[in-house]
Amino acid sequence: MRVAGLLAGTLFVSHLVSIPIVVGERQKPFSGAHPLTGGKDELEQWIRQQDAYSRAHILSNIAPFANDPSAMPGAVCASPSRSHPDYYYAWTRDSALVMNELLSWMEHNSSMSGLQRTLEDYVSFTRHLQGLKGLRYGLAEAKFHMDGRPFTKSWCNGQTDGPAIRGYTLTRYARYLMRQGRDIEHLYGLIRTDLDYVSSVWMQNWHCDIWEETRGLHFYTLMAQRRALTEGARLARMLEDYEAATGYEREIELMERRLGDFWDERGGHVMTTIEWSGGLGSKHSQLDAQVLLASLHSAMDDGVYTVESREMLATALRLLRAFEPLYSVNQVLSAEINQAVVPVGVALGRYPEDVYNGVGTSRGNPWSLVTSALAEFHYRLALEYAKRGEVRASEELRDLIQWTRRRYHEKVEFKGLLRYLLGVGDLYMARVYLHTARDHTMYEQWDRLNGYGRGAVHLTWSYAAHTAASRARSRLVELIAREA
């Protein structure tokens, strides 16, 4: 195995600099610390406990509910909070992301196949929502009441990432069922409905972004749409629905060309929105953590804005630089877990100009799900390098590593790039630990001044972002143990 050779031969016997360099210049040697020098076991234990708690809480946010018999089975509430803020709705985006997470558990562990019941509820709920008539934005309505009624008050609607994420989630579920020799007839029609819609609207510029504030063409939304059509076209071919497949493939080509327009060469990062057409006009930096989420949720195995792409490495660093000075809590450099002291990384928010405080508007805060995503980003970066058996040296990778080291300068030896990235991911996990309640309750945000939970309590997506990061970490830890 190439990875084995790489790990044994080079990575773990030497300093980071000796990672095999395939293209580009050789990096200058440096010695430094594995950033996490103590408390690794304690942190790991917390991650596990938080994972179990998060899974339970995700499931308890999915109807049926004993305390609300009117909620339709399969409806996921964004949070059980019904006031300040009222998040007791089924958002299409949050729900599909959560169902995707459930699918990861099921694919990873056959003893979780009982969750199929929940997926089937979600399929029925989707059939209900797709059948609703008279909605201004139809499939792109952002959210619905938990009993399946449309939400009719004013909202930044037309969120077309929703049907796209749902489309690829249902496609993934269809593949899961097919592997078990099961029928997917009840699914394919729903998938086509979402994908046909995406195919017909993606190029227009009225879409509202995932933060529900800005209209235009959005990187996150387009990445989700591209994944949906790509996986949908593959499924259509398998089912010999060539007409649909060809139609989707035509759009994919155009989408990929459009995606290139999001790279800002001068600014050196991926822009969040182009062709702005309304809503929030104050995001001058064009820097937004939803770009990172786009790569984690929707990049495929083809190098297009994947975690290890130069574009994503550069954007991650730009985000770190922008957010570090923004929040007072980022002056805290360590946390105590069961008497062990661990270094903590930077807390990230949505975008620097953000003013949403979780209930109303004043000043934006760091977000739990975004900071978990940053941890996941580093774990997946390491997994990607391990899978390829090589590291492409780039200025962007070097800059990201050097920036991180500048913040944490203990003098311990590096144990290779994979371990280093594990340690860096752990910095951000430790940050999430620091601001998560000791009983494991998660919120949407953390107060930028004192670090306490703010905004919606028990936000389903915050838990799902933790379980996703924790899964990537476990895979990485296993791999390192196997190859060491």
Residue 113 vs 361, nearer CB to ligand NOJ: 361
Q: Any contact of residue 443 with ligand NOJ (CB under 6 A)?
A: no
> In this chain, which of 107, 212, 256, 275 binds ligand NOJ, going by CB under 6 A?
212
Closest CA relative to residue 270, chosen from 234, 317, 325, 330? 317
Residue 34 vs 215, nearer CB to ligand NOJ: 215
> In this chain, which of 57, 93, 192, 207 binds ligand NOJ, going by CB under 6 A?
93
Q: Any contact of residue 296 with ligand NOJ (CB under 6 A)?
A: no
Closest CA relative to residue 205, chosen from 145, 142, 278? 278
Residue 200 vs 361, nearer CB to ligand NOJ: 361
> Between the CA of residue 346 and those of 136, 232, 305, 366, what are the distances in Å?
41, 37, 23, 9
> In this chain, which of 46, 173, 202, 211 binds ligand NOJ, going by CB under 6 A?
211
d(CA 56, CA 105): 13
Residue pair 403/317 in contact by the 8 Å Cβ criterion: yes
> Between the CA of residue 67 and those of 16, 115, 151, 321, what are the distances in Å?
54, 21, 21, 45
Stretch that binds ligand NOJ, among 2-10, 128-136, 206-214, 409-417 (CB under 6 A): 206-214
Residue 209 vs 251, nearer CB to ligand NOJ: 209
Stretch that binds ligand NOJ, among 66-74, 207-215, 233-241, 433-441 (CB under 6 A): 207-215
> In this chain, which of 202, 377, 461, 463 binds ligand NOJ, going by CB under 6 A?
461
Binding mask 345-364 for ligand NOJ (x = CB under 6 A): -----------x----x---
> In this chain, which of 46, 53, 91, 262 binds ligand NOJ, going by CB under 6 A?
91
Residue 188 vs 356, nearer CB to ligand NOJ: 356
Nearest-approach distance from CB 425 to ligand NOJ, in angstroms: 23
> Between the CA of residue 236 and those of 1, 172, 184, what are the distances in Å?
34, 13, 12
Q: Any contact of residue 88 with ligand NOJ (CB under 6 A)?
A: no
Q: Any contact of residue 78 with ligand NOJ (CB under 6 A)?
A: yes
Binding mask 156-195 for ligand NOJ (x = CB under 6 A): ----------------------------------------
d(CA 344, CA 333): 5
Residue 350 vs 473, nearer CB to ligand NOJ: 350
Residue 6 vs 287, nearer CB to ligand NOJ: 287
Instruction: Please report, in angstroms and rounded to a whole number, the separation of the first and last CA atoms in the chain.
Output: 13
Q: Any contact of residue 197 with ligand NOJ (CB under 6 A)?
A: no
Stretch that binds ligand NOJ, among 31-39, 85-93, 326-334, 425-433 (CB under 6 A): 85-93
Residue 157 vs 309, nearer CB to ligand NOJ: 157
Nearest-approach distance from CB 91 to ligand NOJ, in angstroms: 4
Tokens standing for residue 111? 């003893």
Residue 230 vs 368, nearer CB to ligand NOJ: 368
Tokens standing for residue 221? 């939304």
Pairing of strands 263-264, 443-446: unpaired
Nearest-approach distance from CB 448 to ligand NOJ, in angstroms: 15
Identity of residue 179: R
> In this chain, which of 19, 103, 210, 418 binds ligand NOJ, going by CB under 6 A?
210
Q: Any contact of residue 213 with ligand NOJ (CB under 6 A)?
A: yes
Q: Footprint of ligand NOJ on residues 403-442 (CB under 6 A)?
A: none
Q: Any contact of residue 53 with ligand NOJ (CB under 6 A)?
A: no
Q: What is the dihedral of CA 219, 220, 224, 229, to 10 degrees?
A: -10
d(CA 94, CA 142): 10
Count of residues interacting with ligand NOJ (CB under 6 A) = 12
List residues binding ligand NOJ (CB under 6 A). Answer: 78, 87, 91, 93-94, 210-213, 356, 361, 461
